[in-house]
Structure 1
Amino acid sequence: MDYEVDLYLRQKWQDERLKHADITEVLDLNDPNLVKAIWKPEVYFPNAKHAEFQFVTVPNVLIRINPDGEILYMLRLKLTFSCMMDLSKFPLDNQICTMEVASFSKTIEELRLEWKTMNPVIMGKGLRMPQFEIVDIKAADCQESFQIGNYSCLVAEFYLSRSVGFHLVQSYLPTILIVVISWVSFWMDVDSVPGRTTLGVTTLLAVSSQSSGIQSGLPQVSYVKAIDVWMGTCTAFVFCALLEFTFVNYMWRKLAPETTRQGKSESRSNGKDILSNAIALNLVKKGTVMPGQLSKNMVRARKIDEYSRLFFPLAFALFNVLYWTYYLK
């Protein structure tokens, strides 16, 4: 939750003591020793975590003295600012990062900072960031209050919008495909236990692995993020598809009592102690049991698969509508 900036800090003020008749042209000073001899505003960056002064290839500092006593003080800095982000909508979030400049030792009665009237904050041409787009930049005034007095302060607000393209390709599309693949089991035979079990477990492991990979690159926060809701719901859909097969398979194997008794006698005559639906179907072929006598659960099991083919896609489509409508507003 921080960002780095390479910036030129330009300060301008009027010093009547440097207004002299002998100074007829603009005077540029870049010698650090001469710069130290001139009064300068004592400013600092309250929300900076780390700062470096640029020395390559010479100290990047310049003081320009105009004949009327106006001074332009410019230096180049590399700073790391803190930006406390709210990631509750990550990766569909918008952030506001600030850069504060304040007086360090002089109160507001002694030193007042003001932004330049036109274009106070100028961004470098062609500046692009890999994760964010700069939507807007606002310059405002603030005030630092302490026990020993009030200090002048300026703040620049950077309105950032996260680029979603990377996360669509790396997070959302793969999980959508995994969820859709898990629905293939609804079109498989009810008694195709190895195939449907393998498909359900594989898709569940795939979506869990995808979720773990995404979480490893995110900061640890105590609240739920948008990507957590998405991955949790996708995992729930895959898990429900596996549970649906378990229930359907149980219903398919549960026979009516009269069919079970005839099936047991048939299995004993064949020297087997295992009753299966294949034996029940053989009873139908032999005419021992009429088709209507087979368990209604077998019909219900097929119906559940047929309903699931429609219910799961509709439920997932409804979730997508609610998810994208809520987090993109």
Structure 2
Amino acid sequence: MRNEQLQEILNEYDIREAEIAFIRHNENRTYKVKGHDGSTYLLRIHQPVKDGMAGQQHTYEGLMGELQMLEHLSTRNHLLVQRPVRNREGELITIIEHEGKRWNSSVLTWLEGRDLHKDDVSDPGLVEKLGARIAELHKFYSLYKQEGLDKRPSQGIAYNQYVIEVIQQGLAKDLFTSSDVSIIEETISLVNARLADSGNVEAWGLIHGDLSLGNIIMTSDGELSFIDFGFFGPGYHYTDVAMGAMMVPSELRDIFLKGYYGHDHTGEDKLVLLEGFMLLAIIGYYVFQMENESVHAWMRERMPKLCADYCTPYLSGERIFYSV
């Protein structure tokens, strides 16, 4: 988009004479904006780079659910997040026209810091803090009540079944072999069966849904902040915990779990489910990128390894929590 178009959007927020720097175009178009008064913001145009990446999070109602949640979360002193900025009409979303279509746009305050790095999570103290921060986020979610959360992406048993269906489409695209697709289907079906049998009602709630090193900011004073809540919505807490565990070295995962659960003994049943959710997180990335041809070669190469090294041992009852 041209800077003139972007400035028209920013005018709705009384952000004038802005310096605008493009960040990336993936799930959304994102820009760093510095206003004439020195304040810094994140401008998001909720237009995915591929039509197949569009989801409930891009709809007006779905986006409103994310922004209302962030507005509430930003008032909590112990969790630092980006705060949504309301436009001159008091609205959280500004609708724009681009390339003959109407898109939602939003503005958030900017968080100073940098993405979390792999080297950072070699520090046991930071690893425990990461687990504790995810627990605090889930605690906030347990108390958060808001209409419209049914418009947000949901990652439950039905979603897992949908993942199977998308992976099966990879056969027609010549991305995966039929044997690997069968292993993936069996893996997800086993996780679903274990969830149904365990009746994990206490593990169901609201989640971030897309935790990764790139979605966590470390400030200059070493604090951790979550960003990119595009997949925020109903789901199993195991999703966030498993994603967090995969960020840290295997030898520090017990410390991470202590940070999250508050004690040393997680229990075998939880570990088995966390292993399943680790695999779901990896498979979910394949699903999200299914329409992105630039990563197809990577997917063809990596899927056999995922199935042979992790899914097959998991199906055989081996523990993979400390190896994924």
Superposed pair shares fold, TM > 0.5: no
**Structure number with higher relative contact order (C-alpha < 8 Å, ≥ 6 residues apart):** 2
The TM tier, using the shorter chain, reads under 0.3
Query: Normalising by the residue count of structure 1, what TM-score does the alignment of the two structures yield?
Result: 0.21
* Bigger Cα Rg: 1
Greater helix content = 2
Query: Normalising by the residue count of structure 2, what TM-score does the alignment of the two structures yield?
Result: 0.21
